[in-house]
Amino acid sequence: MAGRKAYAMRKQGRPSETHNKHRKEYPALAKEVIRISDVVLQVLDARFLQETRNLELEGLIKREGKFIINIINKVDLVDINSLKKNPIMKQLVPYVLFSCNKRIGLGKLRERIKIEVKRFGVTHAKAHVGVIGYPNTGKSSLINFIAGRSVAGTSSQSGFSRGIQKIRFSKDILILDTPGVIPSNEHAVTSSEDMQKHAEINVRTFDSVKNPDLIVGNIMQKNPGLLEKFYDTESEGDPEIFLEKLGRKRNILRKGGKIDIDRSARIVLKDWQEGKIIKL
């Protein structure tokens, strides 16, 4: 395994342009939004609670004396009962269970925002509510859901939002969308763990990752039987065998007729990143 990890690190390549923005410009925007906000919504992906928390920004929010509400988004992709049993949930109070796709949680969120804005005794004309979170957690989707129309662009390609988007929430509350931000200790992505994580949570998309087969192997290890069931393909506990069988089944071939393992793995990763493979 050590050899494989070293290989993954060597093949990692240069950070993309989006990664550069994630490193320099976006954190500055997110920090600015935190400074001007009275309440901050941190959008988390229900499938990756701990992975999508930005402890660095959480720290800044506390130091700035701002109030944080955690939005646990994409609950349509998880089993809510097991989610509620997750010990991390205790650290996320106050939170709102949310799904932009299934339109869950908006009423609760409205109530929460109003309570907090009032409790905070915001006196200026319009209270500011900032929205922060890792890339691809659903910040722009949340803004659109709140607005009741499409005001912020969304995409399964992470790093989609590039500036601050403002929308009116009510006559005295303004909401601010921000581009996704990853903590600075993940900027260099020097460890293969970070790379795995970024692929799994779709900070780095399926078409730009190196060694997609290793990432699929990791997902299989963490979710025994899930991919086998989804693709109705056996693995014998081995990711390579799984990808080989899937490639054969789907006729994913290279020139010369050999099975294209890389492309099979990217197809799985794409389905995973687009939330098609549900862990219910």
Ligand X SMILES: Nc1nc2c(ncn2[C@@H]2O[C@H](COP(=O)(O)OP(=O)(O)OP(=O)(O)O)[C@@H](O)[C@H]2O)c(=O)[nH]1
Which residues in this chain contact ligand X in the complex, by CB under 6 A? 73-74, 76-77, 99-101, 133, 135-141, 154-156, 158-161, 179-180, 275
Q: How far apart are CA 132 and CA 134, in angstroms?
A: 7
Under the criterion CB under 5 A, does residue 161 sit at the interface with Mg ion? Answer: yes
In three-state form (DSSP H/G/I as H, E/B as E, the rest C), the secondary structure along 168-195 is EEECCEEEEECCCCCCHHHCCCCCHHHH
Whole-number minimum distance, CB 143 to ligand X, in Å? 8
Q: Would you say 142 or 265 has its CB closer to Mg ion?
A: 142
- How far from chain centre, in Å, is Cα 255? 35
Under the criterion CB under 5 A, does residue 140 sit at the interface with Mg ion? Answer: yes
Whole-number minimum distance, CB 136 to Mg ion, in Å? 8
Q: Which does 158 bind (CB under 5 to 8 A by kind): Mg ion, ligand X, none?
A: ligand X
Whole-number minimum distance, CB 35 to Mg ion, in Å? 20
Q: 180 and 139 in contact (C-beta within 8 Å)?
A: yes
Whole-number minimum distance, CB 241 to ligand X, in Å? 30
Smallest Cα–Cα separation from 48: which of 210, 218, 162, 265?
Answer: 218
CA-angle at 34, arms to 148 and 196, nearest 5° = 85
Long-range residue pairs from 78-85, CB within 8 A, at least 24 positions apart, any chain: 78/46, 78/47, 78/278, 78/279, 78/280, 79/279, 79/280, 83/46
Whole-number minimum distance, CB 221 to ligand X, in Å? 23
Q: Which does 189 bind (CB under 5 to 8 A by kind): ligand X, Mg ion, none?
A: none
Under the criterion CB under 5 A, does residue 18 sit at the interface with Mg ion? Answer: no
Q: Would you say 151 or 253 has its CB closer to ligand X?
A: 151
Q: Would you say 12 or 157 has its CB closer to Mg ion?
A: 157
Q: Would you say 100 or 195 has its CB closer to ligand X?
A: 100
- DSSP one-letter string for 52-71: T--HHHHHHHHHTT-EEEEE
Q: How far apart are CA 84 and CA 106, in angstroms?
A: 19
Q: Which does 275 bind (CB under 5 to 8 A by kind): ligand X, Mg ion, none?
A: ligand X
Q: Would you say 156 or 185 has its CB closer to ligand X?
A: 156
Q: Would you say 27 or 179 has its CB closer to ligand X?
A: 179
Q: Which does 217 bind (CB under 5 to 8 A by kind): ligand X, Mg ion, none?
A: none
